């Protein structure tokens, strides 16, 4: 049952990642990967919310592992950072690495704070 919940969550998260990434990136005429950063920060926030609830195993399997795992994308973040550096855009590559990690950690923390505030 757990594997099915993860697969269902991923079936929602992966297309949402693609659509969000394309929509955000289409609005920016920049080499900076704004779409990937958006989905990664969003996934970190949602996971922070879930962890602080605490959510039961089924919810964590579906939403935490499946949905957030498919929504966020460390591999694309890594690829885009290396691609920027290889293309000579070293400052955007550095900014992407630092800002993505800081924003992801900050978003997870904010998600936890919001969850704790709501649940008392």
- pLDDT, residue 77, reads 97
- pLDDT, residue 16, reads 98
**Is 120 annotated for ligand binding?**
no
What's the first-to-final CA gap in the chain, in angstroms? 31
Instruction: Give the orientation angle of helix 34-52 with respect to helix 2-26, to 10 degrees.
Output: 140
Cis check for the bond before 54: say yes or no (omega within 30 of 0): yes
Mean pLDDT of 73-82: 96
Task: Express each pLDDT in 23-71 by its tens digit.
Answer: 999 999 899 999 999 999 999 999 999 999 988 999 999 999 999 999 9
Rounded Cα distance, 14 and 88, in Å: 30
Task: Express each pLDDT in 98-114 by its tens digit.
Answer: 999 999 999 999 999 99
pTM: 0.93
Task: At 103, list the tokens.
Answer: 């924003």
**Is 72 annotated for ligand binding?**
yes
């Amino acid at each position: 049952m757990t594997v099915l919940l993860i697969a269902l969550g991923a079936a929602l998260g992966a297309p949402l990642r693609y659509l969000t990434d394309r929509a955000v990136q289409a609005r920016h005429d920049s080499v900076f990967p704004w779409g990937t950063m958006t989905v990664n920060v969003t996934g970190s926030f949602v996971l922070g919310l879930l962890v602080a609830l605490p959510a039961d195993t089924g919810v964590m399997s579906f939403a935490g592992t499946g949905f957030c795992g498919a929504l966020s994308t460390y591999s694309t973040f890594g690829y885009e950072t290396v691609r920027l550096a290889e293309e000579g855009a070293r400052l955007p590559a550095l900014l992407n690495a630092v800002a993505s990690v800081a924003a992801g950690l900050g978003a997870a923390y904010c998600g936890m704070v919001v969850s704790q505030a709501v649940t008392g």
